[in-house]
A and B are shown apart, each in its own frame.
Chain A
């Protein structure tokens, strides 16, 4: 199964985790490991709860059963104070960037530093400029978020997410809606930052080639279960029908093209009669 990589030291351990929203089961007995220092891709079609998984790891949601451990802490059993402490070691890059719209680019990146540290203003300035330099936007520091393109605001959000040098950084659909150039920049940045800063990265995405090009290990999720896992090369060869359809982007297969509906002919004629 190509799981040898995983047996090494895991930063995040998910064990037999289930999560339900009302009667809808989002995750059903999921177990997975995020090894330290690696880039791990979590893939699956839209609506399979990939973002929910990030929220579970971030402690914004509680699993219905099972455990999620980060660095030995069971996230959902932590007190509020400890949870906030653990969260300082996590960066989350939101799908919508979620920049503070009333603050400049510079102040957005400085925000977590000001809140969590007692650093002097000149030290904060140096750190902010370093992070902005890393994402190539040092020159944009005085702009407001409304003046940034989609790709730029995502890079600012990335700079903000790494401001405190977290041990774990989670990317929620980082490639969605990006032009090829911004996409290339983001792909390079994610890998580069991971290796340079010694972080562990989780990339939640449905962009197969981009994720495959940077991930060390990939989990494929569907219907609340892990249906496939392995290195990108391994998954390319995987014969599991679902994994095959997803990785190769086949329009029809185990996942039907059509959302469940009554017979099309009946539907249209039925209205006429």
Chain B
């Protein structure tokens, strides 16, 4: 019994990842073709309905995204950005953030969605 408990204990201790960021409260869109994305090299960017962006738990305006992402890319050139954007955000605002990514040469993007069951 104790052996099993210890085994489980070690498993959970090793697999636990404490959430480092809280981000913004957003309702991400649904997609049927959503695939699991690898967490390696992943960094999160939250976009709220009003266009406020959150990176590393810091609230910033859209035009400040590029310098931050540029710094992140220099630290890790294989960076993948997971965009967690509210589903009701106007696309124009989202596009401005994408332009900032292009400006910073951060090109691998993952649009975070929840899986829609057919």
Pairing of A with B? no
